[in-house]
Amino acid sequence: EFLSEANAIGAMISCKFRDGTLEKTKKIILKAFEEGVIFFYCGRAPNDYKCRFLLPAGALNEAEYQKALRILERTIKKMERSK
């Protein structure tokens, strides 16, 4: 629903949200940081920006991984409500 694209290479995951604009991508990243999760952005203009994160393979357990995904989901939902 919120994702228009998702990719992975090894432990690196990227997600494109809806239209993939730099402004919205940065907004998601900053809101997620406020919730305690660090993401980066990648991609190129005009609408191909993605959030990306590298899982610390071997140091992250399933519960921590699920917690990070819940934070990301909560962040996106908050942004959708504030439109």
Integer CA distances (angstroms), 34 to 28, 31, 49, 74, in order: 10, 5, 20, 12
Count other C-beta atoms under 10 Å from residue 59's C-beta: 7
Contacts 24+ apart (CB under 8 A), 52-57: 52/12, 52/13, 52/14, 52/15, 53/12, 53/13, 54/11, 54/12, 54/13, 55/11, 55/12, 55/13, 56/11, 57/10, 57/11
Per-residue pLDDT of the chain (83 residues), as tens digits, is 577 888 889 888 898 988 889 998 998 899 889 988 888 999 988 889 999 988 787 888 889 888 888 888 888 888 778 76
